[in-house]
Amino acid sequence: MSYREFKVSGQIVDVIHKQIFSGTIVVINGKIAHVTPEPVASQQYILPGFIDAHVHIESSMLVPSEFARLAVPHGTVATVSDPHEIANVLGLAGVEYMIENGQKVPFKFYFGAPSCVPATIFETAGAEVTPEDIEDLFQRPEVKYLAEMMNWPGVLNQDPLVMQKITLAQKFGRPIDGHAPGLRAEQARQYAAAGISTDHECFTAEEARDKLAAGMKILIREGSAAKNFEALIDLLPEFPGEIMFCSDDKHPNDLVEGHINQLVKRALTRGIDVFDVLQAACVNPVRHYGLEVGLLRENDPADFIILDTLAPDFKVLETFIAGQQVAERGVTLLEYRASVSPNNFNTHAKSPTDFHFTMPGPGLLNVIEAHDGQLITKRITAPALLTQENNAIADVANDILKIAVVNRYHNEPPAIGFIKNFNLKSGAIASSVAHDSHNIIVVGTDDVSICKAVNLLIEVQGGIVAVNGGDIKLLPLPVAGIMSADNGYEVALAYSDLDAMSKAMGSTLKSPFMTLSFMALLVIPELKLSDQGLFDGNNFTFTPVVIPQ
């Protein structure tokens, strides 16, 4: 079969017209030249490829070219990618790196112009993306939209800088992605009326209905940490034109196992009409974002996949992008491409005493309560466990562990807090993947282990690590301190080893490192920790670690 011209026969799934017919597709020079209905012997199904409608490639810890290698065996042909994470580290240069690296492979990466870099004024980021930068990005054909507008209070209050960015997107005719967890009723209507067109943060059907009524499209998210499929999937039959699927954040070991195909399978298992499911997985992102991704029409790019069946247990037999076969029977055909590694890491090694927390007087601790499978947290209180020096330490017996965020861009004292539900019984885990600013975040049972984990990451200029006495597992992430340019499958194995070690240390979370990375995400309620202190996400203000008595 030549790349220039070839034929594929089978049962052609026309999602747009909601019909399946026997026929042959002729591909010439990367485009579909003819779609001919005719009797054929093959019972394989040919359909448009899957699209992840919102993802941060950086959260896979892989550069775009490696993300593509792992995604194509699952039938993914394109992503709508928000480069917000690397932009917080490197600014416009980081976005340009993502675009250029993505061009190393025949995968369709469509990027957004980051709207909130830095995400808030309450944390230290490595860079800023200005309105002038956004205008520059909109000149590039790969940049299709204004990425998630997390500053929803700024939208509602018509903050001049926020409105300037929204106006730029409207000037260039770009959709504007939303990010407003829990926003409902009149506030949701105001948010949508400002031009916000999507939301991927809904965690209840009622919230999603409010936003749908306001004219927004809803992205059903199922990532490594945030999982909203069960809460939202029953909306799909009612709103097939307004729903898309996304992962948002996907760790490498999970990406090896599956991608958007997993959401498709689960939706089909629930008995949802196959055309409604495929409209969400294939068609709606193309229409909403104006993507140059083919939908099995004549003159479309030849982006399609071949399945053995349309039953929920389907297997992706082949994946084609622009007429090139990129995967076959679960094996990627994309070659590994080495990549140069930009970074921004400027802090010094720490000592255990840097992680001491001296109680200012009697009182209870404000404690972050993490929740498995959710980005939101709760605020609880707990008594402090003190040393003779009045240092509040982790109360391992009651699962009140110490958490710290270390500024990676400047040499500053760590911010200290306390957290529940990581359940480590010994040691510490740490990561420089910490949304949104990607400072170092660490959770541990003692100050020595916490310090050791942090210093290992400082030494390698970014990564994830687990420390348990003399047992250490470390995955360096030298690309901006958040990604590896190594072979994605090898990175996935290394990550799986770290994940297993963290669970052997006692963690009961499904994805401890992914959950850890979100404990600095200030724009998601209720209580988080930045490098500047404990933060109340409901009121957008700092809050004390200690409640005086």
Least-confidence region, from 140-149, 241-250, 371-380, 490-499: 371-380
Confidence of residue 1 (pLDDT cuts 50, 70, 90): very low
Q: Are 508 and 502 in contact (CB under 8 A)?
A: no
* 291 and 187 in a common domain: yes
* 526 and 417 in a common domain: yes
Is position 343 within any domain?
A: no
Helix axes 185-193, 205-213, angle to 10 degrees: 40
Q: Are 549 and 471 in contact (CB under 8 A)?
A: no
**DSSP assignment string, 167-197:** HHHHHTT--EEE--TT--HHHHHHHHHTT--
Q: In the 8-state DSSP scheme, what is residue 418?
A: E
For residues 139-157, give the mean pLDDT. 94
387 backbone dihedrals φ, ψ, rounded to 5°: -85, 180
For residues 308-331, give the mean pLDDT. 98
For residues 329-358, give the mean pLDDT. 94
Confidence of residue 226 (pLDDT cuts 50, 70, 90): confident
- How would you list the strands of the sheet with 304-307, edge to edge? 31-37, 19-28, 5-14, 45-48, 304-307, 316-321, 324-328, 331-332
For residues 114-132, give the mean pLDDT. 95
For residues 260-288, give the mean pLDDT. 98
Q: What pLDDT score does 374 carry? A: 80
* 480 and 371 in a common domain: yes
| Residue 380 in tokens | 């609880």
* 363 and 327 in a common domain: no
Is position 305 within any domain?
A: yes
Residue 47, helix vs strand vs coil:
strand
pLDDT tens for 31-79 read: 999 999 999 999 999 999 999 999 999 999 999 999 999 999 999 999 9
Q: What pLDDT score does 524 carry? A: 87
Q: Are 253 and 61 in contact (CB under 8 A)?
A: no
In percent, the amount of the chain with pLDDT more than 70 equals 99
Is position 498 within any domain?
A: yes
Summary mean pLDDT of the chain: 96
Block residue for tokens 């000037």: 171
* 306 and 181 in a common domain: yes
Helix axes 64-71, 488-504, angle to 10 degrees: 80
Task: State whether the Cα torsion 393-396-398-401 is positive or negative.
Answer: positive
Confidence of residue 3 (pLDDT cuts 50, 70, 90): low
Q: What pLDDT score does 128 carry? A: 96
Can you tell me the distance from the alpha carbon of 214 to that of 285, in angstroms, rounded to the nearest whole number? 19
| Residue 430 in tokens | 């740490």
Q: Are 367 and 358 in contact (CB under 8 A)?
A: no
pLDDT at 373 over 80: no
Q: Are 154 and 187 in contact (CB under 8 A)?
A: no
pTM above 0.75, yes or no: yes
Amino acid identity of 352? Answer: P
CATH of the domain at 246: 3.20.20.140
* 384 and 286 in a common domain: no
Q: Are 400 and 385 in contact (CB under 8 A)?
A: yes
Last residue of a domain, one of 274, 298, 332: 332
Is position 345 within any domain?
A: no
pLDDT at 112 over 60: yes
* 228 and 367 in a common domain: no
Is position 347 within any domain?
A: no
* 209 and 81 in a common domain: yes
Is position 8 within any domain?
A: no
Give the residue numbers spanning the domain of 467.
352-548
Residues 6 or more apart from 121 whose CB is under 8 A from it?
Answer: none
For residues 491-503, give the mean pLDDT. 97
Last residue of a domain, one of 332, 363, 378: 332
231 backbone dihedrals φ, ψ, rounded to 5°: -70, -25
* 413 and 360 in a common domain: yes
Task: State whether the Cα torsion 525-224-366-430 is positive or negative.
Answer: negative
DSSP E strands, 189-238: 198-199, 217-221
* 326 and 360 in a common domain: no
* 376 and 303 in a common domain: no
Task: State whether the Cα torsion 458-461-463-468 is positive or negative.
Answer: negative
Last residue of a domain, one of 301, 332, 363: 332
Is position 346 within any domain?
A: no
pLDDT at 330 over 80: yes
Q: Are 305 and 262 in contact (CB under 8 A)?
A: no
Can you tell me the distance from the alpha carbon of 336 to that of 319, in angstroms, rounded to the nearest whole number? 17
Q: What pLDDT score does 2 carry? A: 43
* 404 and 541 in a common domain: yes
**DSSP assignment string, 495-516:** HHHHHHHHHHTT---SSHHHHH
Please return the burial class of 549, using the count of CB atoms within 10 Å of its CB with bins 0-12, 13-18 and 19+.
exposed
Q: Which of 352, 528, 517, 346 is nearest to 441 (CA)?
A: 517
Domain count along the chain: 2
Is position 3 within any domain?
A: no
Q: In the 8-state DSSP scheme, what is residue 164?
A: H
Confidence of residue 81 (pLDDT cuts 50, 70, 90): very high
Q: Which of 309, 259, 253 is nearest to 74 (CA)?
A: 259
Distances in Å between the alpha carbon of 111 and those of 52, 57, 91, 411? Answer: 12, 10, 14, 32
In percent, the amount of the chain with pLDDT more than 90 equals 91
**DSSP assignment string, 83-142:** THHHHHHHTHHHHHHHHHHHTTSS-EEEEEE-S-SSS-TTS--S----HHHHHHHTTSTT
Q: In the 8-state DSSP scheme, what is residue 484?
A: B
